Structure 1
Amino acid sequence: MKKQLGLMIVLAGINFTHIMDFMIMMPLGPQFKRIFNIGPEMWSAVISSYTFAAAISGVAAIFLLDFFDRRKALIFLYSGFIISTFLVGFANSIEMLLAARALTGLFGGIIGALVLAIVGDVIENKNRGKAIGIVMTGFSAAASLGVPLGLFLGTKFGWEVAFFMIAGFATMLLGFAIKLVPSIDSHRKEKGTRMKNSLVALKYVVRDKNQLLAFAFTLLIVFGQFSIIPFISPYMVANVGFEEIQLTYIYLIGGALTVFTSPFFGKVADRYGRLKTFLVLMLISLIPIFAITNMSPNPVWYVLIFSSLFFVFAAGRMVPASAMIIGTAHPDYRGTFMSLRSSLLSLGQGVAAFCAGLIMIEFPDGTFGNFHIVGYIGIATSVLSFFILRKIKDQY
């Protein structure tokens, strides 16, 4: 594990930028709503344009990802992500914004799957929870450092600045990735004749009951989680009384905590069992889900307690779950499996955001209603996901 630490840090950095690009949309929601004069349904469309495009790229990657060197695939996708993120910053209409976000989704949507596939290829199963904990600090850093900084700059100088900052930093990181990410093509050499036919890989994955259960789990957990996330910031501003600049506190504190808790939960999962760890974290996460979606005007410190708990345990429960899910895929077909999972994850996010937009209502005074219903859906899907995860066999 020590030998791969540098690689894990680079992958965490890549996760940082592509996750930040996705996450920054949520706290900037009140700005987009005001500047482009859009309501809940159109806001859901803006979020879904990225996720639906990411789902399409995930399907395409099923037929391509396992047939290329992981390093070359990562550099190509990351370069496209950088270009499309720059284009988002230049959008001056809702139509241009939708198109640019869709293009970003085509490239960025599959990067997370590729990063996890690389982790699965270079880290043995017994240490995988710890490795994923390190890589997922990219999420924590994006939330605790990137999003607050981007939101601050976006609030002070315009939302475009946030995306220019992401693209600029990603360009520098690309140089480190080119230098440090090794060539990984053993998955192509070991089964050359079978892997020439992409349908063979897809057939193997979709006929495996264990992997189908992993897909079902992914859809459930992400639907419940992502029906809530896009509306946290607009709800906090409109209903709870936050100022837009105060949204930085939510991401700064919550993200900073997960920098430490995600690696810790990974170690706990490796030591005490991934399923047990997920169950405990999932049950605790139900408390902040209920609190946030039923929140009324309250002091900032009170809101930050529950928003921070949401960050810690909603993200934390995915560490042991992701380690289990990676272990369902045979190494020769892991790229195909992770691509299909990423596609389903993006599809679930898009459908969740779209459905939440239909459930949420906006009153004449600008406040939102029915967020509590969205919260109950999140609680129900979280509980149901455990009963699927317990049937999954972590065997590779």
Structure 2
Amino acid sequence: MKQQEIIPLTGYQKLVIFLLAITQFTVILDFMIMSPLGDMLMKSMSLKPSAFGVAVSAYAFSAGISGLLTAGFADRFDRKKLLLFFYIGFIAGTFFCGLANTYTQLVAARIITGLFGGVIGSISMAIITDLFSLQQRGRVMGFIQMGFGASQVLGVPIGLYIAGKWNWEAPFLMVASLAVLIAVVILLKLKPVTAHLAVQRDKSAFMHLWHTIKKRKHRIGFTATALLSIGGFMMMPFGSAFAINNLKISNDQLVMLFMVSGVSSVVIMPFIGRLSDKVSKVKIFAVASVWMMIMCVVYTNLGPTPFWLVLIFNILMMTGVMSRMVPSSALTSAVPDLEDRGAFMSINASLQQIAGGVAAAVAGMIVTQKSKASPLQNYDIVGYVIVVISILSIFLMYRVSKMIAQKGNQQGAAKIEEAVLSEGM
């Protein structure tokens, strides 16, 4: 594999990475905490898997709708102001989750949280694309995606401990309190991000949205992201219920399981990020996808299993899942031009959230449970569906990679032509 030059990061770029990573940590933790609390919520509220699937997908669907509604405006404002606006809304929604007393209130609170939280990832991606070159984004995405692993290492175990000591509402109040502090730091330390305003041509938000959607290269990127999300979200909602009721691990072991899986993610992400800046991103994505498919089929077909073996399978599976996210995010970020980045990232995040909601809802219809303590049934079917979707994802990500290569060649030719003309003058 051909190695590429590593471009160093400046001090301010490292600060931006930290701020976006810790922001993503809270947003991901708010979503992630639903899965480990799944068994507790289903039993305390007497919920069927389908009802819990609705509670999980409510966030995703509202986040998707919000992203589509705001996409036309995403390139018309300072990205720092947009980030703060939606992050404050996310904080309010998370507080409401912690105050919910009934299933209806919980679903309503998840919808509010999704309306604001679902846009934060797209704004962060637009900031990353504005401030970092493609040759730096593998490393950047590696650190940003560490928020996923860190939420498992720190957030989920602490959240489960707090939920066990008090109740399931307490982890949401913990996340919201932490997010308030982060919002203050963003306000004080992050500089305005406004370079995109100078090249904005569309006069209306609707036309900007339409111009972004109608570009063929954008639609290919959107489809690749949607399929990637469906494959990634299908197993997640019922992960804790499957571990407890099928694999027969205890609640205490569940905390350790999430912690160990999270540590593995934190270790893997920077390595994969740096590797994807050196070699082909699409090849790394393909290898990681095949590995994930194998592990998903093995894991979803397990019965009662010794805890040490469950740990090993989880680490191996998470390696595949997380190693797909870094190169795919870096590749997709290179699809739009500067004037379309905010709208593209918003639509892309919307489809990602909607696809995740569809995945959670479909998984809720596939998976059944006879009683509160009985094993989940048909979880293996979820694994087989993920394999089919992942194969399609590899094909589409390859097309994205080809588009980016062609775009780079065209830009290089344009620069050479410009240099020749300037010399002739």
TM-score of the superposed pair, with normalisation by structure 1: 0.97
Q: Give 1:7's aligned residue.
A: 16
- Distance in 2, matches of 1:336 and 1:247, equals 39
Which of residues 152, 162, 174 in structure 2 aligns to 1:165? 174
Q: Give 1:281's aligned residue.
A: 288
1:158-186 CA deviation, whole Å, 9 max, x = no partner?
11111111111111111111111110111
Which of residues 362, 372, 381 in structure 1 aligns to 2:380? 372
- Distance in 2, matches of 1:280 and 1:246, equals 30
Q: Give 1:95's aligned residue.
A: 104
Q: Give 1:332's aligned residue.
A: 339
Moved more, 81-90 or 282-291: 282-291
Which of residues 199, 209, 213 in structure 1 aligns to 2:216? 209
Where does 1:126-275 land on structure 2 (aligned, <5 Å)?
126-191=135-200, 194-275=201-282
- Distance in 1, matches of 2:80 and 2:202, equals 18
Which of residues 374, 389, 392 in structure 1 aligns to 2:397? 389
1:114-171 CA deviation, whole Å, 9 max, x = no partner?
1111100100121111111111111121121111111121122211111111111111
The sequence identity of aligned pairs, in percent, is 35
1:323-380 CA deviation, whole Å, 9 max, x = no partner?
0001001111101001001110111011111111111111245221100001000111
Whether 2:81 is the aligned partner of 1:72: answer yes
- Distance in 2, matches of 1:382 and 1:249, equals 28
Q: Give 2:326's aligned residue.
A: 319
**Paired AA for residue 91 in structure 1:** A
Moved more, 50-59 or 283-292: 283-292
Which of residues 21, 32, 47 in structure 2 aligns to 1:23? 32
- Distance in 2, matches of 1:201 and 1:310, equals 40
- Distance in 1, matches of 2:392 and 2:256, equals 32
- Distance in 2, matches of 1:212 and 1:322, equals 15
Q: Is the 8 A contact 1:67 1:195 kept in 2?
A: no
- Distance in 1, matches of 2:219 and 2:198, equals 26
Q: Is the 8 A contact 2:228 2:390 kept in 1?
A: yes
**Paired AA for residue 214 in structure 1:** G
**Paired AA for residue 305 in structure 1:** I
- Distance in 1, matches of 2:390 and 2:160, equals 29
Q: Is the 8 A contact 1:150 1:162 kept in 2?
A: yes
Gaps of 5+ in 1: none
Q: Is the 8 A contact 1:74 1:114 kept in 2?
A: yes
- Distance in 1, matches of 2:363 and 2:329, equals 25
Q: Looking at CA atoms only, which structure, 1 or 2, has the larger radius of gyration?
A: 2
- Distance in 2, matches of 1:310 and 1:66, equals 37
- Distance in 2, matches of 1:267 and 1:55, equals 30
Whether 2:52 is the aligned partner of 1:43: answer yes
Moved more, 236-245 or 351-360: 236-245
- Distance in 2, matches of 1:114 and 1:255, equals 25
1:242-285 CA deviation, whole Å, 9 max, x = no partner?
22232112211111111121111111111111111111111111
Q: Give 1:344's aligned residue.
A: 351
Q: Is the 8 A contact 1:188 1:195 kept in 2?
A: no
**Paired AA for residue 367 in structure 1:** P
**Paired AA for residue 270 in structure 1:** D
**Paired AA for residue 349 in structure 2:** S
**Paired AA for residue 290 in structure 1:** V
Q: Is the 8 A contact 2:72 2:207 kept in 1?
A: no
- Distance in 2, matches of 1:138 and 1:296, equals 31
1:201 Cα deviation after fit: 2.3
1:314 Cα deviation after fit: 0.3
1:211-260 CA deviation, whole Å, 9 max, x = no partner?
21111111111112211111111111111112223211221111111112
- Distance in 2, matches of 1:350 and 1:144, equals 25
Gaps of 5+ in 2: 1-8, 409-425
